[in-house]
Amino acid sequence: MNNPSINAQEFSQRLNNNESLNILDVREAIEYHTYNIGGQNISVSRLQEDLQTVNFDMEDEVIVICKVGKRSETAQSILIQNGYQNVRNLTGGLLALQKLNSNK
């Protein structure tokens, strides 16, 4: 099953439009505290056991992010398997977003 993704350009545009996005950052806490763009932080390694702490409704669009898009892809699958219906993975992760923003 091919799960939906969002690219850095679309994500950046939505952020710049001050859209209220449900962001789940699945990097480790140290990475999140070093650099983040907001959103809830639950590391992918803890996601399965911490699912009840996810602050989003199962019908809401949730955008999962990490550094390069691999851990968020795993997190996306976990969320979908647990009933979340609209989970998108940030392709290329925060690195793609930073690269996009540095080219402006």
pLDDT in tens, 58-96: 999 999 999 999 999 999 999 999 999 999 999 999 999
Average pLDDT of the chain, as a whole number? 95
Given a cut of 60, is residue 1 above it in pLDDT? no
Classify domain 5-102 at the CATH superfamily level: Rhodanese-like domain (3.40.250.10)
Give the global pTM: 0.95
Encoded tokens for 103: 């080219």
| Model confidence at 57: pLDDT above 90 | yes
Count Cβ atoms within 10 A of the Cβ of residue 74 and give its class: 0-12 exposed, 13-18 middle, 19 or more buried: middle
Q: How do the domains of the chain map onto residue ranges?
A: 5-102
